[in-house]
Chains A and B, each alone.
Chain A
Amino acid sequence: MAGKMEPLMQSPMTPWPYRIQKVIRESHDTFSLNVVPKNSPDSMTFNPGQFNMLYAFGVGEVPISISGPQPGGKGMIHTIRDVGIVTGALHKLKKDQTIGLRGPFGSAWPIEESKGYDIVIMAGGIGLAPLRPALYALLDQRDKFGEIVLLYGVRKPEDLLFTKEFETWRGKYGVQVKMTVDTADREWRGNVGVVNTLVQRANFDPMNTVAMICGPEVMMRFAVSELKRREVPEDQIFITMERNMKCAVGFCGHCQFGPAFICKDGPIFRYDKVKQFFGIREI
């Protein structure tokens, strides 16, 4: 039925231009871009765990989580693993060049809700990137939380990210940081094996723990079962889901996971709310 028209906003499918303020090499295949808006009225607020759609001129657009900065810092940091066409094109960009950005989108880690709890953070590979702002937020109010545990697994020692910060997290904030690799090299003195094996060695009170997990789906499946074995309640476990995304605003349908749209309802989910679908093949 013909009716009156509200004034129209810019289409949520149109990116805003952002300037690359800093490029940081994080590892042999991973880099970070800190970006600031060129002329959009967007404020730079985001919640830990949210993501942006980053556009490389003429190449394409991909979902990338926000990995920083620390509270009070400038810009938005994205830590990106170069795995293909678009991430490869983003890898070639330099300071002061332009990218397109839409966001922030998606759900956030439960920081406020976890006050008074022990926190177990489990990350696999690039999965540490979306968890770093959560750590920053927790450490910003360190006294509001009990034990903070970071369990981090990567394939090879050279894949480890953000290691320079681990000392501060350990020393200044008393975070239990434990790392493991799938395959060690000659210099590696640490743990070898998958990340869930670290759960047993961490010190936390399971019934009073909130767990935040990000990594490949198999890794998360094992992590959840290990946490459940330690009797962490299902409604205190948070996981992240990843699917192809073409819009991030609920239009394209690509990111569906059971009843959820990962772009709107996720990427962070409380485990008990999605467990009916989690782990079903090809869902």
Chain B
Amino acid sequence: MNKSVTIDREGLNQLISVLNGMGFQVVGPTVRDEAIVYEKLESIKDLPEGFTDEQDGGVYRLKKRKDKSLFGYAVGPHSWKKFLHPPERRLWQADGEGGDFEIKPEKLDATKFAFIGVRSCEMHAIAIQDKVFINDKFVDPVYQVRRENAFFVAVNCGQAGGTCFCVSMNTGPKVEAGFDLALTEILDNDRHYFVVEVGSEQGEACMEQVTHKLAQNEEVTLAEKVVKETAGQMGRTLDTTHIKELLYENLEHPRWDDIAERCLSCANCTMVCPTCFCSTVEDVTDITGTHAERWQKWDSCFTMDFTYLHGGEVRASTKSRYRQWLTHKLASWQDQFGSSGCVGCGRCITWCPPAIDFTEEIPKIRDSETQTLKTS
């Protein structure tokens, strides 16, 4: 089925129940602690109706809209990686005594998630993490099973956020691939409805249980117009021409010192980033010493111990940590996985307390004539 259909608000509500009935845990945007986060949804009542967000470097504020739109905001501090690549999980347990022990592999938690309201940049971010956890030399079975079980209800953005630059990164705002259903929200005078594009057989099977109509040409045209307008509202831009070479050739650029004076090494940027995947492990034992567990937790290249080697840390300075983070995102990621590690979602700009914004920093490096001073 490649024809679009339309559903109204009640149709969207039905969709959530249908997905629930199919055994999915339905998660999506909801308001909590003055931010839009991704949590479990029971019905459309849980969606951030009539909210929008004001975003800028170091600034995130929720505001009321004049309408009752359900997706009238950009991305918040959460991303879907918290479901596919959990922030904390036990890898295995071991029991033993007297120099002998047995390892018990962890049972696979194959929760089936249905994600409601996945934006185009986020679809790209998931495709990027796929390369790390499924499509490289080794496979993470938890990520793999959750990823393959997941149902994607994408949303074409109707409004760009103040720190968005997906157009520069070629990752949005229109959802192109990987979705089961893709919605465009339309508020046209008194009518509030969604134009739905069906992207998979499972998506089609789902829609059969939801009250819908075939989309009229005007409705499809209106949906296209919405996305086009969003593309014209990007809060930020980034010139990515030869960005890998630019960064590799400027590893000793004085701008890194300048950034280091502002950066708190707080790791916010890496926690909110939908593509950052780093983790660490922790070993815990019970008091008798006969039971041990190994846990995996999200980690960040900004933390103290990240590069610890016996005798000290490789990247002790904030300058070297920020440089590592940004060159990884924009340069070495290309060598490692064949694409940029940044999808232009703007989270790292919005959630940086001192408002460091690499869409401003990169031009500073680009515009200067300073050449690399290698210390080797």
Residues of chain B with a CB closer than 8 A to A58's CB: 94, 283, 285, 289, 292
Cβ 8 A contact of A2, one of B101, B133, B151, B248: B151
- Contact present for A254 and B307 (CB under 8 Å): yes
Contact status of A259 and B137, CB under 8 A, knowing A2-B180, A57-B96: no
Interface status of A178 (Cβ within 8 A of chain B) = no
Bound CA span A191–B65, Å: 80
Question: What is the CB-to-nearest-CB distance from A218 to chain B, in angstroms, rounded to a whole number?
Answer: 12
CB closest residue in chain A, given B333: A259
Residues on the A chain within 8 Å of B331, using CB = 259
Any A CB within 8 A of the CB of B320? yes
| Interface 9-residue window, one of B1-9, B48-56, B272-280 | B272-280
- A173 CB to nearest B CB, Å: 34
Task: Render A219-252 as a binary contact track against B, CB cut-off 8 A, 1 for contact.
Answer: 0010000000000000000000011101101111
A15 within 8 A of B: yes
Number of A positions contacting B (CB below 8 A): 53
Residues of chain B within 8 A (CB-CB) of A166 are none
Please name the residue on chain B nearest to A12 by beta carbon.
B138
Stretch of A182-190, A197-205, A275-283 with 4 or more beta carbons under 8 angstroms from chain B: A275-283
B374 & A8 in contact (Cβ 8 Å cutoff): no
Which of B72-80, B141-149, B231-239, B345-353 faces chain A? B141-149
Among the 9-residue stretches B26-34, B103-111, B209-217, the one with 4 or more Cβ atoms under 8 Å from chain A is B103-111
Nearest residue (CB) in A for B134 is A6
Contact sample, A vs B, 29 pairs, CB 8 Å cutoff: A1-B150, A1-B152, A1-B202, A3-B148, A5-B149, A8-B144, A8-B145, A11-B91, A11-B92, A11-B142, A12-B139, A13-B91, A57-B292, A60-B283, A98-B96, A100-B94, A244-B306, A244-B307, A247-B281, A251-B132, A251-B133, A251-B138, A251-B277, A252-B280, A256-B332, A282-B315, A282-B320, A283-B315, A283-B320
Contact A250 B137 (CB under 8 A): yes
Q: Which chain B positions have C-beta within 8 A of A279?
A: 374-376
Chain A residues, Cβ within 8 Å of B306? 244, 254
Given that A243-B307, A246-B280 are known contacts, is A264 also in contact with B137, CB under 8 Å in the complex?
A: yes
- Assess the B278–A253 pair: CB atoms within 8 A: yes
- Contact of A272 with B by CB under 8 A: no
Within 8 A of B (CB), among A84-109: 84, 93-94, 96-98, 100
Contact with B along A142-171 (1 / 0, CB 8 A): 000000000000000000000000000000
Q: A249-B137, A259-B335, A279-B376 are in contact. Are A254 and B280 (CB under 8 A)?
A: yes
CB closest chain-A residue, reference B199: A1
What separation, in Å, do the CA atoms of A17 and B283 have in the docked complex?
A: 17
Q: Which chain A residues border B178 with CB–CB below 8 Å?
A: 1
Interface centre among A2, A5, A10, A83 (most CB of B within 10 A): A2
Main secondary structure of the interface of B (DSSP, over half): mixed
CB of B224 within 8 Å of the partner chain: no
B142 cross-chain contacts in A, Cβ below 8 A: 11
* Contact status A13-B296, CB under 8 Å: yes
Interface residue? B310 (CB, 8 A): yes
What is the CA–CA distance of A111 and B286 in the complex, to the nearest angstrom?
46
Which of A5, A14, A251, A281 has a CB less than 8 Å from the CB of B279?
A: A251
| Top-6 shortest CB links A-B | A279-B376, A97-B99, A253-B278, A282-B320, A259-B335, A249-B138
Binary CB contact string for chain B from 80 to 115 against chain A (1 if under 8 A, 0 otherwise): 000000000001101010011111011010001000
B59: interface (CB < 8 Å): no
A16 to B, closest residue via Cβ: B103
Q: Is A118's CB within 8 Å of the partner chain B?
A: no
Q: How far is the CB of B127 from chain A (nearest CB, A)?
A: 11
B interface with A by C-beta (< 8 Å): 91-92, 94, 96, 99-103, 105-106, 108, 112, 132-133, 136-142, 144-145, 148-152, 178-180, 199-200, 202, 248, 251-252, 277-281, 283, 285, 289, 292, 294, 296, 299, 301, 305-310, 314-317, 319-320, 324, 328, 331-332, 335-336, 374-376
Known pairs A58-B289, A250-B138; A243 contacts B314 (CB<8 A): yes
A253 near B299 with CB under 8 A, answer yes
Given the contacts A58-B283, A94-B99, A11 and B375 also touching, CB distance less than 8 Å? no
Known: A94-B99, A97-B99. A5 touches B148 (CB 8 A): yes
- Which single member of B99, B136, B180 contacts A93 (CB below 8 Å)? B99
Bound together, the chains give a CA A246 to CA B310 distance in angstroms of: 14
> Could you tell me the distance between the alpha carbons of A1 and B277 in the complex, rounded to whole angstroms?
21
- CB neighbours of B100 from chain A (8 A): 97-98
A168–B294 alpha-carbon span in the complex (Å)? 44
What is the distance, in angstroms, from A204's C-beta to the closest C-beta of chain B? 25
Q: Let me know if B251 and A11 touch, CB within 8 A.
A: no
**Cβ of A59 under 8 Å from chain B:** yes
Q: Given A57-B292, A83-B310, A17–B375 Cβ distance below 8 Å?
A: no
In the complex, which residue of chain B has the Cβ closest to the Cβ of A257?
Answer: B314
A14 and B105 contact, Cβ closer than 8 Å, known pairs A244-B308, A280-B375: yes
In the assembled complex, how far is the CB of residue B15 from the closest CB belonging to chain A, in whole angstroms? 15
Could you say which residues of chain B place their CB within 8 Å of the CB of A246? Answer: 279-281, 299
Whether A256 lies near B309 (C-beta < 8 A) is no
* Cβ contacts under 8 Å, B132 to chain A: 250-251
